[in-house]
Amino acid sequence: MLRKGAEEARNRLPELLAAAEKGRCTIITRHGRPVAVLAPIAAFGAVEGQQPLTPWQGSGRSLWGNDSARTVRRLRDEWNR
């Protein structure tokens, strides 16, 4: 894994992108502290592995009780006291 300062990473971005395309990660530091990682997209599982929220549709049913409008009014009124 490569480790570069922010200024050097900015100046050598094309090389770092080429390294990422070859599967290498780069840690970018600021004042010696790691602040970011430049990694191959395959290593970033959230992009490929993110699941849609549609299976959760309707899962909040009954969360607010039988009369959601009344529950919301009651909660809103509670804040206005």
Residue 40 belongs to a domain? yes
- What was the pLDDT predicted at 40? 92
DSSP H helical ranges for 1-81: 6-11, 13-21, 45-49, 68-79
CB atoms within 10 A of CB 4: 18
- What was the pLDDT predicted at 33? 94
CATH number of the domain enclosing 8: 3.40.1620.10
Its domain, for residue 12, covers: 2-47
* Structural domains counted in the chain: 1
Residue 12 belongs to a domain? yes
Cα–Cα distance, 5 to 28 (Å, whole number): 6
Cα–Cα distance, 25 to 2 (Å, whole number): 6
Residue 80 belongs to a domain? no
Q: pTM for this one? A: 0.54
- What was the pLDDT predicted at 79? 78
Residue 64 belongs to a domain? no
Burial class (CB in 10 A: 0-12, 13-18, 19+), 26: buried
* Sequential pLDDT tens for the chain (81 residues): 889 999 999 999 999 999 999 999 999 999 999 999 999 988 876 555 666 767 666 666 677 778 888 888 888 888 776
- What was the pLDDT predicted at 72? 84
Residue 30 belongs to a domain? yes
